[in-house]
């Protein structure tokens, strides 16, 4: 089971990092800079990777307790989108409440699309890693 936890964590971290780097630092770099909230000239990539590792470990730890049966990939996506909504509220909505963001609705849309893609892909992977788990009676 430890191997499944490690693989599930990797299924969150790897696709997230592969998407986050180009998304934030290449494709939409100007947009994020123009929002006026991401002002670090040189992002600390290892810290971002550590953050994703923590998130992946938490998701891998919770998912088997959350699973109630069904198709693994679909259940993984449902679980992950729920976690993603929670993290979106912290990383995007709360930021707008605390920081003056230029064009907040554009920030919400761009971040929302990123989170939706990130958590859909990661969730499918997590679900497939764990597969059909034994469902315990409530």
Q: What is the pLDDT of residues 9-35, one digit of tens each?
A: 999 999 999 999 899 989 999 999 899
Share above pLDDT 70 across residues of the chain, in percent, rounded to a whole number: 96
| Residue 136 lies inside a defined structural domain of this protein | no
Q: Is residue 21 part of a domain?
A: yes
135 belongs to a structural domain: no
Domain encompassing residue 90: 2-130
Residue 12 domain flag: yes
71: closest CA among 1, 128, 5, 118?
128
Does residue 137 form part of some domain? Answer: no
Q: Report pLDDT digits (tens) over 70-83.
A: 999 999 999 999 99
- For the entire predicted model, the pTM comes to 0.89
Q: Which residue has the tokens 């198709």?
A: 71
> In this structure, is residue 8 part of a structural domain?
yes
Number of domains in the chain: 1
Please enumerate in sequence order all residues whose Cβ is within 8 A of that of 29, keeping only pairs 6 or more positions apart, or say none.
none
Q: In this predicted model, which residue has the larger pLDDT, 137 or 42?
A: 42
Mean pLDDT of 96-102: 92
Residue 99: C-alpha distances to residues 1, 8, 38, 93, 109 (Å): 42, 34, 11, 10, 17
């Amino acid at each position: 089971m430890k191997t499944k936890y490690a693989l599930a964590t990797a299924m969150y971290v790897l696709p997230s990092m592969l998407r986050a780097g180009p998304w934030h630092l290449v494709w939409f770099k100007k947009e994020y800079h123009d929002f006026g909230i991401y002002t670090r000239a040189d992002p600390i990539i290892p810290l971002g990777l550590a953050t994703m590792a923590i998130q992946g470990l938490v998701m891998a730890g919770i998912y088997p307790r959350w699973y109630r049966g069904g198709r693994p990939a679909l259940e993984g996506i449902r679980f992950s989108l729920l976690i993603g909504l929670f993290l979106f509220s912290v990383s995007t909505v709360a930021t707008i409440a605390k920081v003056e963001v230029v064009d907040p609705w554009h920030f919400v849309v761009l971040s929302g699309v990123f989170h939706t893609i990130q958590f859909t892909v990661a969730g499918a992977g997590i679900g497939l890693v764990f597969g059909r788990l034994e469902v315990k009676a409530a």
